[in-house]
Amino acid sequence: MAKTSVAVLGGGSLGLLLAAKIAASGQEATVWTRSEEQARSLRDNGLALKDADGNLLTRTAVRACSLGEAPSRQEGLIVLNALKQTGLSDSLFGELRRVTAQDAAIVSFCNGIGHIERIAEALPGRPQLAAAATEGALREGPAAVRHTGSGAIWAGQAPRFGGGNADYAPMPTEDRRKDIENILGSAGFSIYLSNNMIERMLRKLLVNSVINPLTALLRIRNGELAATGDRMALMRALHEETRTILHASGLPETEGAASELWEELLDVCARTSRNESSMLQDVRNGRETEIEAINGAVVRLAASRGLPSPRNATVTDLVRAILSG
Ligand SMILES: NC(=O)C1=CN([C@@H]2O[C@H](COP(=O)(O)OP(=O)(O)OC[C@H]3O[C@@H](n4cnc5c(N)ncnc54)[C@H](OP(=O)(O)O)[C@@H]3O)[C@@H](O)[C@H]2O)C=CC1
Ligand SMILES: CC(C)(CO)C(=O)C(=O)O
């Protein structure tokens, strides 16, 4: 069997955090960037990992190349996919088909749902895991990242939420799953292999489907969302509509779930109060947002189950319209 090696796909906030901590723990990882400039900067300067206040923790040499420069058909790869869903495209899939061998295990950290199905369709047969991370990361430049909040990573077989005609992605072998757990655990992450990614992913989707569009539309930080009665009313209405749709899509509807999920949302707002959500950052920078993979996906789930989703449809249209000018 080929020796296992790690590639981090995407040199953004989360990708640089994963790469910095893996490299600082003495393990090897290659960062696959979009641009050759960023890869050069990483090779020349090393990768700086800073704490939430911007103090330098480590600066470590890392391997880096643009995805276009990466060698073809590498065997034994674990690919940590730290792209946004907006980074998934036919050309990206073409490059991934070229650089990975059939045994590559792809672990995707993307927010929202739908990405596993798209990857499975574009790279049939490649083993996949879905990961949900509550880490906070912020890229400070091409070769520096701040660890803005410690959390945990859950990874496991992704449920199929719909879309795509390909056979669903196979799980990586047990040995390969252990490798993934060991690599991320040795890098200092709290990593849990989960048999219940449906709940993890849908809980995260519920949080993102409220915080992300509302903060992007109102242009406020996460902590400012729960600060007024009007905003709380918007949050509640969107949360209730989304929760009903997600319960119909596999989110367990246990006793007390409604108040527990609402408290979870308020807790995320409090814990990330100084953060600008990823969607607000995308809007501010004129970048395409993940709205289609978050509220747009909720609208599609609702349609497939004959449920109404007027609030999700409205925020999807509004966020889409911001960048359409
Ligand atoms: N940041 C965080 O704290 C967390 C993020 N997440 C999720 O993880 C995912 C990534 O988030 P985040 O790191 O913040 O996003 P970023 O926008 O910071 O990073 C995405 C990276 O993908 C790169 N990219 C896009 N297309 C390609 C391509 N074709 N080839 C190689 N690289 C490419 C971008 O390159 P370029 O910069 O050159 O455009 C960018 O560096 C999202 O789904 C997010 O919601 C989950 C938990 C925490
Ligand atoms: C949890 C939250 C809302 C933190 O900002 C996030 O995941 C995001 O911004 O995408």
Please name which ligand lies nearest the alpha carbon of 69: 1
Return the pLDDT at 149: 86
Regarding whether 263 and 302 lie in a shared domain, the answer is yes
Same domain, 61 and 178: yes
pLDDT > 80? residue 158 = yes
Pair 145, 139: CB distance under 8 Å: yes
119-129 pLDDT tens trace: 999 999 999 99
Kindly report the pTM of this predicted structure. 0.95
114 lines ligand 1 (CB under 6 A): no
Average pLDDT over residues 70-85: 95
Ligand 1 site, residue 139, Cβ cutoff 6 A: yes
Nearest CA to ligand 2 atom 7: 208
Does the beta carbon of 208 sit less than 6 angstroms from any atom of ligand 2? yes
Task: Give the pLDDT score at 169.
Answer: 85
Alpha carbon of 83 to ligand 1 centroid (Å)? 4
Both 250 and 275 in a single domain? yes
Q: For ligand 1, is residue 35 a contact (CB within 6 Å)?
A: yes
Our answer on whether the CB atom of 133 is closer than 6 Å to any ligand 1 atom is yes
Name the helix (H) or strand (E) containing 8. strand 5-9
Task: Report the CATH number at residue 159.
Answer: 3.40.50.720
| pLDDT at 160 > cutoff 90 | no
Does 14 contact ligand 1 (Cβ within 6 A)? yes
Among 169, 195, 221, identify where a domain stops: 195
Helix ranges (H only) for 174-325 are: 174-186, 197-218, 229-247, 257-271, 278-284, 295-304, 310-322
Q: What is the rounded average pLDDT for all residues in the chain?
A: 94
Q: What is the count of structural domains for the chain?
A: 2
Residue 1 confidence (pLDDT) above 70: no
Here the CATH number for the domain that contains residue 223 is 1.10.1040.10
Range of the domain at 91: 5-195
Tell me which of 278, 282, 319 to substitute to probe ligand 2's pocket, judged by most ligand atoms within 8 Å of the beta carbon: 278
| 189 and 252 in a common domain | no
Ligand closest to the CA atom of residue 16 = 1
